[in-house]
Amino acid sequence: MIANGSMLRTIGVICARAKRTPGDLTEGIAMKFDDSVRSVLKRKGTDIISVPPYAYVYDALREMADHDIGALLVMQDGNVLGMFSERDYARKVMLLGKSSLETSVREVMSPAALVSAGDSIDSCLHLMTSARVRYLAVMEGGALAGMVSIGDLVNWMISAQAETIEHLNHYIAAEYPG
């Protein structure tokens, strides 16, 4: 159940993740406040980092550190079973005195919050706030299309606001092209 263009390998899924700035996310893309999450995925990419449910927490943490990410999906046979994040590690492993070398991800993962690729960035930000999650798995046509973080969405919104302000400044100065 993996969308075309996604790259998925189970323990360890490998993908390079570059440090990005808000401007990097929007280079060459006209942005609007009502854009869909699909727009964010087109810019940031659809690579998926995942581990199987039987992986040890230590292995999941190693994958997260290797890719400089704060969460990964827990998947088996192409199906999303849940999500494992730094928050899960802190609250369900470290604070409870469990060993990351002996605890499986299945024991401490959280349910994955799923959205459609067509959902607006605004509605996704509201979902993240109300559900108190920082990551969303994005589905399209019943298949996994990618994953976005709250940072990805906030950076998109900041860049969209900056673009709108620039257009308004040009309009006020009678330089508006349209």
User: Is the pLDDT score of 59 beyond 70?
Assistant: yes
**Any domain includes 12:** no
Residue 2 lies in a domain: no
Which residues are within 8 A (CB) of 77 and not within 5 positions of it... i.e. 6 or more apart? none
- Give the residue with greater pLDDT, 64 vs 12: 64
Contacts of 119 by beta carbon, 8 Å cutoff, 6+ apart: 36, 37
pLDDT tens-digit map of 109-147: 999 999 999 999 999 999 999 999 999 999 999 899 999
Distance CA 70, CA 17 (A): 12
Give the span between the Cα atoms of 93 and 106, in whole angstroms: 12
Structural domain that includes position 61:
30-172
Per-residue confidence (pLDDT) for residue 162, from 0 to 100: 78
Is 120 part of a structural domain of the chain?
Answer: yes
Task: Give the count of domains, the chain.
Answer: 1
Flag whether 10 is in a domain. no
Within a domain: residue 5? no
Is the Cα dihedral 31, 33, 35, 38 positive or negative? Answer: positive
Residue 115 maps to which CATH number?
3.10.580.10
Which of 16-20, 40-44, 105-109, 115-119 has the lowest average pLDDT?
16-20
Q: pLDDT by residue (tens digit) across 157-169?
A: 888 777 778 878 8
Give the residue-averaged pLDDT of 51-55.
97
Banded pLDDT at 33 (limits 50, 70, 90): low
Tell whether 22 is covered by a domain: no
Query: Across the chain, which distance is largest between two alpha carbons, in Å?
Result: 66
- 15 is a domain residue: no
CA dihedral in degrees (28, 141, 6, 48; nearest 10)? 100
Mean pLDDT lowest for which of 35-44, 53-62, 160-169?
160-169
Q: Is residue 76 part of a domain?
A: yes
